[in-house]
C-alpha cells in the first residue's frame, strides 16, 4: 500500500505528500543500470505482481521529484491491473504536483470508487484537497480515514489535519490535532516542528520552545527552518543569548538559505 510520508519543508507548516517505497535495487531510480524491480516489472509473469512492482517504482520516482517517469510507471501499473486503487491515488498526487487539477480530481474519485473504505486513499485525497484550500472537504476525508476500523496511520493523518487546520487559521483545532499526533508519534520531527509553529502563532512561546528544542537537539533533524523558528521563539521569550546561539548556527550551517537572509535583514516577524 502506498503511504505518503510527511516531512518538514520550507514555509509555514509545510508538508510534503510523497510516497514510500520498499523497492530493493542495484541502483537508484534515475541512476545507471537496471534495478531488480525494473527487471521484475518487465517479467511477463503474474500481472498483479508486475503492477505492484511498477507502483513501487512510480512511488520511488515520485519521491525523487521525477514526476513524468512516475506518471509513466503508474500508467504501466494500471495497464497491468486496471482496478488498482493505490495506483489511482498515486496518480492523483502526481497530477496535483503537475497542476492538473481536473485529472487529479478524477484520479482520486476513481480510487475511492474502487476502494471506498481505504484510509490511505482518503488521507491522500484529503491532503490534495487541503493543498487546493478546500478545507471542509479535506477535513471530511481525514475524519473518514481515521474512522476506518484497523486504520494504522492515525498519527500521520492527525499531522496532515493539523497542518490543514493551521492553513485555515483554525489554530486551536490545529494544536489539538498536532498534540495528539505528537503523543502517538513523539519521535516524528515534522510533528514537533508544526506543533511548535502553531504554539508560536498562538503566543505559547515556552511550549513552542520545548518542541523546537527537541528537534534541534538532534543535528540530523535540524535545518534552516527549525533553527530560524528557534531563534524567533527565543526573541519572543526575551532570551538574547538564545537568539545569538541559533543565529550563529543558522549562519554557520546554512549561510545561503532564505532563513539566513531573513535573519540578516532582521525580519523576525515575517
Q: In the chain, what percentage of residues exceed pLDDT 90? A: 81
What is the Cα–Cα distance from 240 to 169, expressed in whole angstroms? 30
Long-range contact set of residues 46-50: C-beta below 8 Å, sequence gap at least 24? 47/80, 47/81, 48/80, 48/81, 50/77, 50/80, 50/81
Cα 92 to chain centroid, rounded: 15
In a domain, 52, yes or no: yes
Q: Is the per-residue pLDDT at 10 higher than 50?
A: no
198 domain-assigned: no
Question: 40 pLDDT exceeds 80?
Answer: no
Under the banding of pLDDT at 50, 70 and 90, the label for residue 221 is very high
Record the pTM: 0.82
Average pLDDT for the chain: 87
Percent of the chain at pLDDT exceeding 70: 83
179 and 77 both lie in a single domain: yes
Regarding beta strands 4-5 and 18-19, do their DSSP bridges make them parallel or antiparallel, or are they unpaired? Answer: antiparallel
Domain final residue, candidates 129, 158, 185: 185
Can you give the residue range of the structural domain that contains 218? Answer: 203-270
Q: How confident is the model at residue 43 (pLDDT cuts 50, 70, 90)?
A: low
pLDDT (tens digit per residue) in 149-181: 999 999 999 999 999 999 999 999 999 999 999
Domain identity same for 126 and 239: no
Lowest-confidence range among 41-45, 87-91, 114-118, 150-154?
41-45
User: Same structural domain for residues 107 and 215?
Assistant: no
Identify which of 58, 113, 124 has the alpha carbon closest to the alpha carbon of residue 89. Answer: 124
User: Based on the structure, what is the number of domains in the chain?
Assistant: 2
Amino acid at each position: 500500500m502506498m503511504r505518503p510520508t510527511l516531512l518538514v519543508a520550507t514555509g509555514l507548516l509545510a508538508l510534503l505528500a510523497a510516497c514510500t517505497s520498499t523497492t530493493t535495487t542495484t541502483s537508484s531510480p534515475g541512476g545507471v543500470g537496471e534495478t531488480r524491480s525494473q527487471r521484475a516489472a518487465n517479467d511477463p509473469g503474474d500481472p498483479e505482481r508486475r503492477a505492484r512492482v511498477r507502483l513501487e517504482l512510480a512511488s520511488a520516482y515520485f519521491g525523487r521529484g521525477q514526476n513524468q517517469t512516475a506518471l509513466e510507471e503508474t500508467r504501466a501499473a494500471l495497464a497491468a491491473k486496471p482496478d488498482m486503487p493505490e495506483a489511482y491515488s498515486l496518480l492523483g498526487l502526481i497530477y496535483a504536483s503537475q497542476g492538473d487539477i481536473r485529472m487529479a480530481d478524477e484520479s482520486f474519485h476513481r480510487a475511492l470508487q474502487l476502494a471506498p473504505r481505504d484510509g490511505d486513499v482518503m488521507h491522500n485525497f484529503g491532503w490534495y484537497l487541503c493543498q487546493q484550500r478546500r478545507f471542509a472537504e479535506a477535513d471530511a476525508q481525514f475524519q473518514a480515514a481515521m474512522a476506518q476500523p484497523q486504520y494504522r496511520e492515525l498519527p500521520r493523518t492527525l499531522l496532515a489535519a493539523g497542518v490543514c487546520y493551521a492553513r485555515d487559521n483554525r489554530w486551536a483545532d490545529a494544536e489539538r490535532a498536532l498534540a495528539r499526533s505528537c503523543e502517538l508519534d513523539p519521535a516524528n520531527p515534522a510533528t514537533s516542528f508544526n506543533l511548535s509553529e502553531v504554539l508560536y502563532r498562538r503566543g505559547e512561546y515556552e511550549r513552542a520552545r520545548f518542541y523546537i528544542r527537541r528537534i534541534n537537539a538532534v543535528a540530523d533533524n535540524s535545518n534552516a527552518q527549525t533553527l530560524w523558528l528557534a531563534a524567533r521563539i527565543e526573541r519572543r521569550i526575551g532570551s538574547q543569548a538564545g537568539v545569538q546561539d541559533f543565529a550563529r548556527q543558522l549562519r554557520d550551517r546554512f549561510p545561503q538559505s532564505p532563513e539566513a537572509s531573513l535573519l540578516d535583514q532582521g525580519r523576525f516577524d515575517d
